A and B are shown apart, each in its own frame.
Chain A
Amino acid sequence: MENFSINDIFATKGIEYLVIIAFLAILIPFWVVLNKQVKITKQIQNALGILTANILRIPQGLFYSKNHTWIHLEKSGVANLGLDDLLQHLTGEVKFSNLINPGEIINKGDLLAKIEHNSKLLKIFSPISGKILKTNSMLNESPEMLNEDPYGKGWIYKIKPSNWIAETNSCFFAEDATNWATKELEKVKDFLIMSMGKHSHEPSMLTLQDGGELRNNTLSELPNEVWQDFQKEFLNHT
């Protein structure tokens, strides 16, 4: 009853203050966790990662062709073939399509596969000749494997080479590969500036952040004309 017994309208204030302290305490870690970058390089659209030679993966025991494919001969005599890390850093996540079926014979320089992003595509040509033994079915289900593990699970073909020694002569190996990759990056920068001038795009749309380094997934938002130019400049070496 009113006015006849104690009525404390602030009875719960103590608990409320405790809840507020808890809220503030949880808010900071909550905010931090929310903003922490996802380590997987899968969807890096918002990440303004800087593409320099330091972050490229270049395992030293593999042969790298000028067309940005790698090959590795295993003890069994079968070679694995795939795309190198620099290429996938440039394109970002792509859709991959095999063009050769197991059992077919290919020659060096044949069209092996296509990678595609939003109806922009790049053709991949073969660095060696041989007989295709297997294609990687896992790539159909998880195309991001090309980006995450290009040298491991992201292999494209298993091939039995017919002329290994002669054809890998023109490939890069070990330290040469690292030097070549560094030079390629510089070449990509020049290429983009020139391409920019050619197709008159806004400079801001492009790439150059602090220090003039490239943005990750450089090509992914650039238009088809730039992709065609890139094909001619970087992937069509014979």
Chain B
Amino acid sequence: MNNNVNISDRGSKSLIRFVISELKPRGKIFTPFNIISGLIILLSLVILVIRFAKGLGSVADASQLHPWGLWISFNVITGVAFAGGAYVLTFMVYILNMKKYHSIVRMTVLWGFLAYSFYAGALILDLGRPWNIINPIIGNSFGLSSVLFLVAWHFILYIIAQFIEFSPAIAEWLEAKRLRKILVSLTIGTVIFGITLSVLHQSGLGALFMMAKAKIHPLWYSEFLPILFLISSIFAGLSIIIVVGSICQKVFKNQLKSDYGDSYKNIVFGFAKICAVAMFVYLFLRLLVLIHSQQWALINTHIGYWFLLEILGFVLVPFIFFIYGFKHRSMLLIHIASIMTIIGIILNRLNVSMIAYLWNDPLAHYPTWMEIVVSVSVILAQIWIFRWIIYRMPILRKSPDWVPEDEEK
């Protein structure tokens, strides 16, 4: 294959042939992971056909009092928190110039891009009349007063921004030198734009619930919900990157340079420290919010104990583990802390949107197995695409030789 061919020189025919050849799977097709996840995805496609033919109620347990089910509460509200690694990392690498983290930026941005794309897709699955989604986009009727309008627009713009940040990798894959140069020059602009958008829509997810004041339990509802969501997205995103990065290290190890392990360890230690500081701030914020709401007496109820479990068990404990792991350089402890943090974020977001939402409604909302299957398969599909891209594009491995040294990722 010609290594010095520009995309314009290659010609469109050979480009198509190249892309098609890249579609062939690499490695074993019938691994346990592939089989199980493939079956789940197929099952969810069947469920989705039923959902669109017979209406949302045929597969989801959405009731009139609990309009948002698992797909929004889990895939959108929780999933987007986990995609927060992208804006934190691009901030550290491109704004603060912390070169230590450079090697992991591409993977993080790719994960973020895929996360937002898939979870925006999950949102469309949940819409009752998705054909009208074009309305708030083309200006047919802008509901400017709505927080959801802002969140929706930010999702679209952010997906575009992340795609541009990630596109140099695509250009390197397609061997398009001039295109790559253009895309790289756009990086800092899109990074700044992306961080601003992220700050607003991560907090915007919290602002969505502002008008549900009468329905969310006072221990979780506060006017500071947007800020809490923003701060928690910082350590949520970093925790997911630690877990995903470590898995990638094992799965893709033949792509990596021999000293990737050392530099990756340093990155993880750095993340642990940042998470610890963010969680320190977050814990104090939650204390302030609790005092401000004047509802501390409610802690002495059943749901109050659930509240304590979420904060003490899954924020305070991993916070301590992060500190200990960082000081004693223990990868194991940091990974345990990351997983506990992930559970804590899931709990918090599900609490605000589903569990503490009309918590005393006797007809509580329990997701159906079909909702769970579709939720899980959205994530599995994301992992499949993630894997496909990492095998083919220079995300974890070195850029091709024609990339200038100082621009190398």
Contacts and interface: CB of A to CB of B under 8 A. Distances in A.
* Pair from one complex: yes
A99 interface: no
Given A19-B287, A19-B288, A34-B273, A221 B329 contact: no
Interface residues of A, number: 20
A138 interface: no
A175 interface: no
Interface in B237-263: 258-259, 261-262
Interface residues of B, number: 22
A198 B394 CA distance: 30
B330 to A, nearest CB: 10
A3 B326 CA distance: 54
Interface in A9-59: 11-12, 15-16, 19-20, 23, 27, 30-31, 34, 36, 38, 42-43, 45-46
A38 B329 contact: yes
A11 to B, nearest CB: 7
Contacts, number: 41
Given A12-B292, A16-B292, A23 B266 contact: no
B266 A15 contact: no
A19 B288 CA distance: 7
A45 B287 CA distance: 37
B328 A38 contact: yes
B271 interface: no
Interface stretch (B186-194, B276-284, B396-404): B276-284
Interface string B291-330: 1101000000000000000000000000000010011110
B288 A20 contact: yes
Interface in B323-348: 323, 326-329
A46 B276 contact: no
Contacts of A34: 273, 276-277, 323, 326-327
Given A15-B291, A20-B288, A43 B276 contact: no
Nearest to B270: A46
Given A15-B291, A34-B276, A43 B326 contact: no
B335 to A, nearest CB: 16
Contacts of B116: none
B269 A46 contact: yes
Nearest to A42: B329
Interface of B: 258-259, 261-262, 265-266, 269, 273, 276-277, 280, 284, 287-288, 291-292, 294, 323, 326-329
Given A34-B277, A118-B258, A221-B262, 16 more contacts: A11-B294, A12-B291, A12-B292, A15-B291, A16-B288, A16-B291, A23-B284, A27-B280, A34-B273, A38-B327, A43-B329, A45-B262, A45-B266, A118-B259, A118-B262, A119-B258
The 7 closest A-B pairs by CB, nearest first: A43-B329, A23-B284, A12-B291, A15-B291, A19-B288, A12-B292, A16-B288
